[in-house]
Structure 1
Amino acid sequence: MRKLLVVIDMQKDFVDGALGTKEAVSIIPNVIEKIKSYDKKDVFFTRDTHQANYMQTQEGKNLPVEHCIEGTEGWEIDANIRPLSEGTTIVDKPTFGSTKLARMIKDIADKEDIEIELVGLCTDICVVSNALMLKATMPEVSISVDASCCAGVTPDKHGAALETMRSCQIYVKND
């Protein structure tokens, strides 16, 4: 059984930048250890990727905080984690969930048995979106999220997202 790790949006703007939180900063050591426990060929990073016109987009109108603008420091993977992203697959995504990521992992699942584990930011937006997209794409694949390697916009929203994932048969570890 091949085990894949999906590291969601561990970018400066979500850790300690424009939308950062103390909870996001606090999970960095756990995320580093988790990534180190996987073979690089089995690790997928996502990067929230917006353009200069962000404020004119649907997301920008609903979350009017510029963040993860492609090419900026805030868009980069957190400096503590960035060295671990070398040699892995990085998927830039323009919105919460990545259809490209789901297709890439489905291609692997079509050839071999896999399990998927997710970690990252923010539990209640991009982590839950990708977890549900992966589950909808591959309903028979075991999917888990490590709660100790995730942080939400707020602790309450983190908990609510974990409950949503549990309800959708995504295994929640270390809650």
Structure 2
Amino acid sequence: MLVVIDMQNHILDPDSESYIPGCEALIPNIKKRITKARTNNEIILYTRDIPVEMKDTPKEEAEELQIISDIAPQADEIVVKKYYFTIPPDKLLEICKSVEDDFKQSEKLEVIGVETSLCVLSNALALQSAFPEADIFIDPNLVCGRKHNDCALALFKQFNIEVLN
């Protein structure tokens, strides 16, 4: 399973408070990884981080909150809106049930995207709880954040989440 965290248009906009310097460089590599996942028939899950003040309003669908078009999900891929850092527990349960037959065939779960020390970290831990037998890993070349990236990568290791070299 490949989990793509918060790769939304606003992270590319230098005028946005959600801008993440350097994330532009991630997009070609994330695109390659998504293409590989599709070729290998991996389950692909995307998250969209929606500010809580926009919850249940038309602003949820604003262009800046959409997945970057170069890596946009296909119709058969899962997209989850989250209003805080992590996929909500009820959505995690839905995901577990919807993928249980297919995911048993592949016990690897990779988490990629932004913000390494916040959303990537919190979602990796939530997914670890939801899929306790999965081998979860992070490729440092496929995550990005504003600060505390090295600390977050060290924390992943403390939680038995593999950080690739």
Q: Which band: TM-score by shorter chain?
A: 0.7 to 0.9
Residues 37-63 of structure 1: per-residue CA shift (max 9 Å, x gap): 012661111100235x36xx9xxxxxx
- The unaligned stretches of length 5 or more in structure 1 are 58-68
Alignment of 1:103-114 (within 5 A): 103-107=93-97, 108-109=99-100, 112-113=104-105, 114=107
- What is the distance in 1 between the residues matched to 2:91 and 2:37? 18
Q: 1:100: how far off?
A: 4.4
> Which residues in structure 2 correspond to 1:142-153 (within 5 Å)?
142-153=135-146
Question: Which 5+ residue runs of structure 2 have no aligned equivalent?
Answer: none
**What is the CA–CA distance in structure 1 between the aligned matches of 2:36 and 2:101, rounded to whole Å?**
24
Match of 1:161 in 2: 152
Aligned to 1:36, what secondary structure does the other structure show?
helix
Query: Which position in structure 2 is the counterpart of 1:86?
Result: 74
* 8 Å contact from structure 1 (residues 16, 25) kept in 2: no
Q: Which residue matches 1:102?
A: 92
After superposition, the C-alpha distances for 1:41-97 in whole angstroms (9 at most, x for unaligned) are 61111100235x36xx9xxxxxxxxxxx51212101113222xx1221111111111
Contact 1:117 1:143 in 2 (8 A): yes
The code of the aligned residue for 1:79 comes to S
Task: Give SS of 1:90's match.
Answer: strand
SS at match of 1:159: helix
Choose between structure 1 and 2: higher strand proportion: 1
Q: Map Cα deviations across residues 97-143 of structure 1 (whole Å, 9 max, x no partner).
A: 10245324433347724221010011111100000111123322111
Once the two structures are TM-superposed, the CA of residue 166 in structure 1 deviates from its matched residue by 0.9
Change (3 A) 1:140 1:41: closer
Distance between the aligned counterparts of 1:31 and 1:75, measured in 2? 18
The alignment's C-alpha RMSD in Å is 2.2
- Given that 2:7 and 2:67 are in contact with CA atoms closer than 8 Å, whether structure 1 keeps it comes out as yes
CA distance in structure 1 between the aligned counterparts of 2:13 and 2:150, rounded to whole angstroms: 21
Partner of 1:43: 44
Amino acid at match of 1:143: I
Q: State the aligned residue count.
A: 153
Extract structure 1 runs of 4+ deviating beyond 4 A.
Answer: none
Q: 1:5 aligns with which of 2, 15, 18?
A: 2
Q: Give the structure-2-normalised TM-score.
A: 0.82
Whether the 8 Å CA contact 1:16–1:24 is kept in 2: the answer is no
